[in-house]
Structure 1
């Protein structure tokens, strides 16, 4: 009875130990699973970053390969041009060498014939009688020498004439080039004189408006003077200023000779603030439309259409840095320049 109680007590007391062992084993398994999951996440992130870097490097490699291909194509074109030029030079040199060789050959033949004739004369001098065949041979050789000498004289004269013609053409080309440069310089000087007169008179007329500035050889009119914000429609004040400009330009144009190909450039510029409207999707369209509006108005005042050109530069050529109101106002402008085509 006592033994049975002891066995029962021993069996009951063993379960807590098993439970502790199983709990420890379960915690160990959970810990190993956690380590495995964390390592997999870290490995996955590392592989993703490596793939991204490899893709970026491959893209850069493709870009470099493309640039190298373009440079190789350019080098190939330059090599082809150089090779063609060398071939032409080589052909010319071959022709010159062939002509020289022909002259040397003909000269050598003439000298050889002369030696043969002298030797034959010396041989025949020791004989009292000459046969008919020998006389015919001497006559034939003499005729050949005369013919060769004539051919040599013709070739020499032709070469001399060619050299004289080449020198004359080079002299004429140099003279024509000098005359063209002189004429061009004269035309440029004349145009500069008319530019000075035009800008001097325009400066006096527009001096009352302090917003109009002169930068180098260009007049800068603020856009606010001509147009409302975001518009390409000329206002009354702007039309008055353009009337002054048209009057001066027409007066000066009457004195400019017809052979001076002058034009009036009208350039539109905006600030860096972007615009996006149905009429003007970008600053390019706005600046171009404003320049065209000025050209059309000047044409209505009598300025010849073919003497004007309109261009829009958007915000890409500022005259003032920064984003202050003053800098933005200076960059919104219409530039006017009298130049040649």
Structure 2
């Protein structure tokens, strides 16, 4: 069974409630219909119910009626969610009138549904920018305990079975924080390892990447990675992690043994943490285009409950996969809380 099938099956076995704020968007609705047909997740669609059902009939989506459809303009919990938002943002000066207005915004409403315990995760971005998707998530759901930095991981399905976990590599951060400091980089390492376990189902072996391996070069950006490694070990003492190391030392056993003898990670890494967003974005796109790898994500991490951001150029299949991934993250978040 391939990895995507495993992710889907894991979601089916422990169904989560996922909010789709863009309930009238074509790709979202078509993916939602397939998710409901396959029993991957329970869905909450936000939008005008009549419009959603008219579109479902027009596109032949017979199972959309299985979703819970909530009209942001008129629903029984409107005032309850407005009061919750006002309470959460009162230190920032929010009034109840402002909260009542914002609660009609599907992106805010989706996060409030999660915060109130009425859903487990959210997926949006087919119509909205990353900033618009993230803002209410950070204001309402907030970050995980001990984490202040939101980041994005990319699941790379490569044609190099000798690398990573049978060709599967998880890379972060590729989406959010342009130039993380050492503390943020440590958090990115911890979160990317958690994503690898929650979504890819792999035992994470984390390499902190740089242009230096174990002191082979001296520079302030190398020092940052060395410090991040120390902080990451303090954040999660049980995590398997090492650095700083070059990409070949992280992935190729022969090179790892030569450049970092005695390291349990060198040559065996399946999670790659890059020193900045520029490196991450360029790297995954080069691997995707030149190596014909499949890149899935970005998978947002560090938020207390999963809120994921789609590319506005996404396909129906992309939305389907990301709903399943969001469900896997929600399962893992609950398990982490119950430890």
TM-score by length of 2: 0.18
TM-score by length of 1: 0.18
Larger Rg: 1
Greater share of residues in helix: 1
Greater share of residues in strand: 2
